[in-house]
Amino acid sequence: MSCLLVARILVKLESENPTGSMKDRMALAMIEAAEADGRLKPGGSVVEYTGGSTGVSLALVCAVKGYPLHIVTSDAFAREKLEHMRAFGAQLEVIHSDDGRMTEKLTRDMIESARVIAEKHCCYWTDQLKNADQVIAYHRMGEEIWAQTGGRVDAFVQSVGTAASLRGTAETLRRHHPGVRIVAVEPSESAVLSGGPSGAHKIDGVGAGFVVPLWRPDIVDDIELVSTAEATAMTKRLAREEGLFAGTSTGSNVLAALRVAERLGPDATVVTLMCDTGMKYFSK
């Protein structure tokens, strides 16, 4: 299809946040909500399971606020993220993966380890897959997108990790424009949101391997499937052709946005996210 017949695609550069990731938004929202209602008290500590970006963002917030942070993560994720968390003072438990792949078992093993640490050390467990406090952070991002596009958003495309960014942004955009199309993206190797079997993939930060608690199927119009190979190829193209150095979740987003843009045609505007900076992924 000629590029003249494809919708305009806008990419919001969340790599401009302090740790280079959109997860700075949700980490701050979860900690501040817990402080406000007393779940996290002065002198307390925090624990979380994470593929990396949430952990880095929590490590920054906890360092600034003075909370010791325990992180459960895995060798499946980029080494740079683990080192970044350690640099902010987080204490890491690293769980071994199946050949560096993200699987349902790995996610559940990480969750269980975080639960044990929370119980043993009386930590506040942010528990990101169940924590709705983060949704408000993405309500704010939705307002930014609406303002920055001048109120021209026909579709929003986003990969699903916790599902909070898709859900929160979609809720805000729908308040402004009820007809906006919301498109979720998941790994084709583990297309559980689409009703497929759980599988293994190497797209960091998305595709938990099961239907996550914050997922809202009623908010979504379409689900696009993107393989690890497709996401990696698009990530390389973004760097070499557009000067956008990102991770594979961003590659997934942009590939899915291109598909949506072809369907919607030249008068539409499709928005997606550059979730983080590629500086986190050199080892991968």
Same domain, 45 and 166: no
Contact between 203 and 102 under an 8 Å Cβ cutoff? The reply is yes
Treating both helix axes as pointing N-terminal to C-terminal, what angle do 23-37 and 135-148 enclose, rounded to 10 degrees? Answer: 130
Same domain, 198 and 266: yes
pLDDT tens per residue, range 158-184: 999 999 999 999 999 999 999 999 999
Stretch 27-52: mean pLDDT: 96
Residues 205-244 pLDDT 10s? 899 999 999 999 999 999 999 999 999 999 999 999 999 9
Give the C-alpha separation, 79 to 6, whole Å: 37
What does the alpha-carbon distance between residue 26 and residue 131 come to, in Å, rounded to a whole number? 10
Question: Residue 219 to residues 49, 163, 183, 210, 250: CA-CA distances in angstroms?
Answer: 26, 11, 9, 18, 21
Q: What is the pLDDT of residue 204?
A: 87
pLDDT value for 284:
65
Relative orientation angle of helices 79-87 and 53-65, to the nearest 10 degrees? 10
Dihedral angle, C-alpha 226, 79, 244, 152, nearest 10 °:
60
In the sheet where 124-125 sits, what is the strand order?
Answer: 91-95, 69-74, 46-49, 124-125
Q: What is this structure's pTM?
A: 0.92
Q: What span, in angstroms and rounded, lies between the C-alpha atoms of 164 and 243?
A: 28
Q: What's the domain count of the chain? A: 2
175 in Cβ contact with 138 (< 8 Å): no
Write the burial class of residue 50 (CB in 10 Å: 0-12 exposed, 13-18 middle, 19+ buried): buried
pLDDT over 80 (residue 3): no
Q: Is pLDDT at 35 greater than 90 in this prediction? A: yes
Which residues form the domain of 261?
3-16+132-281
Residue of 271, 35, 261 lying closest to 133 (CA atoms): 35
Please check the confidence at residue 4 and state whether its pLDDT lies above 70: no
The domain that holds 100 is classified in CATH as 3.40.50.1100
> Which helix or strand (DSSP H or E) is residue 95 part of?
strand 91-95
Domain stop point among 125, 147, 162: 125
Q: Are residues 161 and 276 in the same domain?
A: yes
For residues 149 and 77, state if they share a domain.
no
The answer to whether residues 160 and 121 belong to one domain is: no
* Of 125, 154, 175, the domain-final residue: 125
| Residue 153 predicted with pLDDT over 50 | yes
Across 58-67, 74-83, 104-113, 267-276, least confident range: 74-83
Is the same domain home to 119 and 159?
no
Residues 102, 156, single domain; the answer is no
Q: Of 71, 94, 125, at which residue does a domain stop?
A: 125
Q: Are 50 and 80 in contact (CB under 8 A)?
A: no
Count CB atoms within 10 A of the CB of residue 72.
22
With 60 as the cut, is the pLDDT of residue 32 above it? Answer: yes
Same-domain check for residues 179 and 273: yes
d(CA 45, CA 264): 48
Place of tokens 């997860």: 23
Same domain, 89 and 34: yes
Same domain for 169 and 252, yes or no, is yes
Question: Do 59 and 186 fall into the same domain?
Answer: no
Residue 17 DSSP SS3: coil
Strand, coil or helix: 219 = helix
Same domain? For 182 and 238 the reply is yes
| 2 has a pLDDT exceeding 50 | no
Residue 156 DSSP SS3? strand
H helices within 94-186, ranges in order? Answer: 104-121, 135-148, 164-176
